[in-house]
Amino acid sequence: MELKNKVWMTGDLEWYTYIGEDEVYLGRREVPYPLGEGDKWTNEYGDVFQVENGEINILERTEPPNKHW
């Protein structure tokens, strides 16, 4: 599957993409790799993303997940 979004990882192992004109933080370890159709995840800030029709979309904002140390 080919993604329509440009996706990149920084040296800090953080994933980013463009959604429209905006640069959007996707997350770190919570981002599934390789990305496939139907993949869904929530980043550390509570943003919920899903891959639909080859494009990463932000679905909603929720309460950030609890961190367990």
Say whether pLDDT at 60 is over 90.
Answer: yes
Predicted confidence at residue 37, as pLDDT, reads: 96
Interval 21-46: pLDDT, tens: 999 999 999 999 999 999 999 999 99
Predicted confidence at residue 39, as pLDDT, reads: 97
Contact assessment for residue 26 and residue 17, using Cβ atoms and an 8 Å cutoff? yes
Q: Is the pTM of this model over 0.85?
A: yes
Tokens representing 7 are: 């996706």
Q: How far is CA 68 from CA 12, 26, 50, 65, in A?
A: 21, 20, 24, 9
Q: How far is CA 43 from CA 2, 33, 50, in A?
A: 22, 14, 11
Predicted confidence at residue 2, as pLDDT, reads: 87
Domain boundaries, the chain: 7-61
The tokens 């994933």 sit on which residue?
A: 15
